[in-house]
Chains A and B, each alone.
Chain A
């Protein structure tokens, strides 16, 4: 069975050493790369900590661990993770590549919002994947919120999105979450479709948030995904899913820093309540241990 992994587990040997040696730095870089931070950030962090350690003449590995935590936290906290949902209705588009957990995230988000006393409608604009509409409907039912389905099979997703927002307006519903079909960022035509959905929705109401769902198990391709989705759909926030597995999703730091788009939500389980806001402190705590 895979162990739950944390940097500190990976570094147990390192922290048990008496002093900081060259091996310590190798171990640290290894741990950061294993957490999917990518070779660039891993190198940067190691270099920076190395300089600090030399400057402050620190010799205790435990001190280094605290510094690592602080440095990562500082970098993660450089952006504002709050959702902006002031509009009424607040329209949220959820986008991402295939299989990252968009529909599941919507179910959980609907629950999160409705448990805060907001009325919610979800729109099943993923008219492509087999049974995606039913999957969303099931989640909507679990979350106890309304769902707008396509009127016929293969209906244009933009029109389903339009109807969802329309429903929110006529029914005086505060929150409107639109599911979209998963698409790989390399599919030009499908990416253009996202732009269309966005434009069509904007005819009804401004889009408050475009959330890009990223799978924590993703590697360095996550940055390419984010860049493409930002370009085509105007992403405003990131959702990291599947953090309950053994993957740590270190790549999200690179995504956040390269794109300037903040991480806003974290999904860590299959239960409907397993979605929380992003808190850099907690996230780093779990990561470094």
Chain B
């Protein structure tokens, strides 16, 4: 997949060139816009949409205030991101429920887009919100689509109406109509009608979909589309818009590595909002669509929001505040360190989190080399200490260290290394905290993340600095990935990560701050 990675690298390169300059010249902008055009095409955004988009970027970049606090590259990235988010939906819309139940939802799309699976996911999602959905099996075309829907309904624990065996037998329009009538009589408040997959060029089947729509007068018609689709997204979306006039879009298979440019194409061409994203094979893998995240994905700027949100879920605000205070009062202990460590682990698969960072494609090798076992070893060492030792690390003499090493099943050297790193980290935190560098919750922005117009702070300084803000702290590996290896235990990954050039690190950091 190197061929694909190189595109985001190229974009980063072209932005890196911009970074060294004080202001944007038209030729700078042209170069960058060309790379963006290519990146968008490689992400399968429809050509017309790309042209339109790049035109707007160029215009805005040319007219941009040069004196603004951002540097040129950040400015372009910001414009690109703003435009992407604007097209992708800006505001999100929720599913619109009918004033008088049942709410009728019809699913339509190409073959293999994932309609039947999505029906189950949607039903499960709605049932979880306290609704009583019923699935209607109106895909009588594909062999055993009916059986599949029945199984899926069983898994989701919802009712299903499947009067016809399918496999080409039965009238889907009648099934849909009867299904809605049944839902009314049985007081289901939501009806989800699964229909057969059809091609945009198949006039007959399109007609049938239109008939179903007319017969049941749905409140929402969801166009289900595979995130992997290429340039054909436009033709298909237009055909379905004319055929069944969908009200919303669902993107499926977003758990793959397709960049999902189709989302942009469909928004750009039909103007219909994307309501949901389907992200896996289990029925739970279903979530509301986030335009801002999709924007980052299409341009490979990383899914920072998801990262932050994920981290926030598992980081305990209270604990973070306490640690921050401890740092201020010079009493940051190994216990605090351990707790931080455990919180990071709780945040989930660390590799996965690293992978979500922008530019992470280039980091892939380093990420693969990252050894999560280091966490465990570091934890074991600290856990082998007595409470007193954890609080006053100064008392750790040779014999204590030997005991700890035995207890943790490591060598004394490893214990020594950990202590060294801890001392350094604690010292740096103290400096940072005392110097009033505001990376404590409620005390303002983190240097380097917000004041990004200027030169980046030296790597040395940022090394041990662990932000008190949970979200920021989670994102910190961006600033100096090397610190993961060094603070948590000299992992093999450290040299790899350190290999990353300062430019790359600066680029990562900049994306984080300047991207939105």
Question: What residues make up the interface of A, taking CB atoms closer than 8 Å to B?
Answer: 1-5, 30, 33-36, 38-39, 97-101, 103, 128-132, 134-135, 138-139, 184-187, 215-225, 227-228, 242, 244-248, 251, 258, 270
Those 3 A-B pairs whose CB atoms lie nearest each other, nearest first: A219-B230, A99-B112, A219-B44
B36-77 toward A: CB 8 Å interface, digit per residue (1/0)? Answer: 001001111011000000000000000000000000000000
Instruction: Check if B44 sits within 8 Å of A135, measured CB to CB.
Output: no
Q: A130-B148, A185-B256, A220-B44 are in contact. Are A135 and B142 (CB under 8 A)?
A: yes
Q: A39-B38, A98-B112, A246-B199 are in contact. Are A2 and B229 (CB under 8 A)?
A: no
A289 to B53, CA, bound (A): 30
The A-B contact count (CB < 8 A) is: 168
A251 to B262, CA, bound (A): 15
CB of B255 within 8 Å of the partner chain: yes
B169-213 toward A: CB 8 Å interface, digit per residue (1/0)? Answer: 000000000000000000000000000000111110010000000
B367 CB to closest chain A CB, in angstroms?
Answer: 14
CB of B236 within 8 Å of the partner chain: yes
Taking a contact as CB atoms closer than 8 A, the residue among B1, B42, B232, B256 that contacts A97 in the complex is B256
Instruction: Check if A5 sits within 8 Å of B235, measured CB to CB.
Output: yes
Q: Which of B218-269 contact A (CB under 8 A)?
A: 226, 228-233, 235-236, 238-239, 242-243, 253, 255-259, 261-262
A216 to B233, CA, bound (A): 11
Q: A100-B112, A185-B256, A215-B112 are in contact. Are A30 and B47 (CB under 8 A)?
A: yes
Instruction: Check if A217 sits within 8 Å of B230, measured CB to CB.
Output: yes
Q: A38-B42, A242-B111 are in contact. Are A138 and B230 (CB under 8 A)?
A: no
A225 to B230, CA, bound (A): 14
B43 CB to closest chain A CB, in angstroms?
Answer: 7
Central interface residue in B41, B150, B258, by most chain A CB within 10 Å: B258
A44 CB to closest chain B CB, in angstroms?
Answer: 13
Instruction: Check if A1 sits within 8 Å of B206, measured CB to CB.
Output: yes
Instruction: Check if A2 sits within 8 Å of B201, measured CB to CB.
Output: yes
Not counting A101-B111, A220-B43, A224-B1, a sample of 10 additional A-B residue pairs whose C-beta atoms are within 8 angstroms of each other reads A2-B238, A34-B46, A99-B112, A131-B147, A215-B112, A218-B226, A220-B42, A227-B1, A245-B236, A246-B235
Q: A131-B147, A217-B226, A217-B236 are in contact. Are A244 and B112 (CB under 8 A)?
A: no
Question: What residues make up the interface of B, taking CB atoms closer than 8 Å to A?
Answer: 1, 3-4, 38, 41-44, 46-47, 110-114, 116, 141-145, 147-148, 150-152, 155, 167, 199-203, 206, 226, 228-233, 235-236, 238-239, 242-243, 253, 255-259, 261-262, 281
Instruction: Check if B228 sits within 8 Å of A244, measured CB to CB.
Output: no
Instruction: Check if A184 sits within 8 Å of B42, measured CB to CB.
Output: no
Instruction: Check if B47 sits within 8 Å of A218, measured CB to CB.
Output: no
A217 to B206, CA, bound (A): 18
Contacts of A185 in B (CB 8 A): 256-257
Contacts of A97 in B (CB 8 A): 228, 253, 256
Instruction: Check if A130 sits within 8 Å of B230, measured CB to CB.
Output: no
A216 to B257, CA, bound (A): 17
Q: Give me 26 A-to-B residue pairs in the complex whose CB atoms sit less than 8 angstroms apart, sorted by A's number.
A: A1-B243, A2-B235, A5-B235, A33-B47, A33-B231, A36-B230, A97-B228, A130-B147, A130-B148, A130-B151, A130-B152, A184-B253, A186-B256, A215-B228, A216-B232, A217-B226, A219-B229, A219-B258, A221-B44, A221-B228, A222-B228, A244-B199, A245-B201, A245-B236, A246-B199, A251-B230
Instruction: Check if A131 sits within 8 Å of B151, measured CB to CB.
Output: yes
Instruction: Check if B167 sits within 8 Å of A1, measured CB to CB.
Output: no
A151 to B368, CA, bound (A): 39
Instruction: Check if A219 sits within 8 Å of B228, measured CB to CB.
Output: yes
A226 CB to closest chain B CB, in angstroms?
Answer: 11
A248 CB to closest chain B CB, in angstroms?
Answer: 8
Contacts of A134 in B (CB 8 A): 143-144, 147
A251 to B228, CA, bound (A): 12
Q: A36-B231, A217-B226, A223-B3 are in contact. Are A138 and B201 (CB under 8 A)?
A: no
Instruction: Check if A217 sits within 8 Å of B232, measured CB to CB.
Output: yes
Closest to A141 in B: B143
Closest to A190 in B: B281
A248 to B233, CA, bound (A): 12
Contacts of A39 in B (CB 8 A): 38, 41-42
Instruction: Check if B229 sits within 8 Å of A218, measured CB to CB.
Output: yes
Instruction: Check if A221 sits within 8 Å of B236, measured CB to CB.
Output: no
A186 to B47, CA, bound (A): 27
Instruction: Check if A224 sits within 8 Å of B257, measured CB to CB.
Output: yes
Taking a contact as CB atoms closer than 8 A, the residue among A131, A215, A246 that contacts B148 in the complex is A131
A54 CB to closest chain B CB, in angstroms?
Answer: 23
Contacts of A186 in B (CB 8 A): 255-257
Q: A1-B203, A3-B201, A129-B148 are in contact. Are A184 and B255 (CB under 8 A)?
A: yes
Contacts of B155 in A (CB 8 A): 130
A186 to B227, CA, bound (A): 14
Contacts of B116 in A (CB 8 A): 130
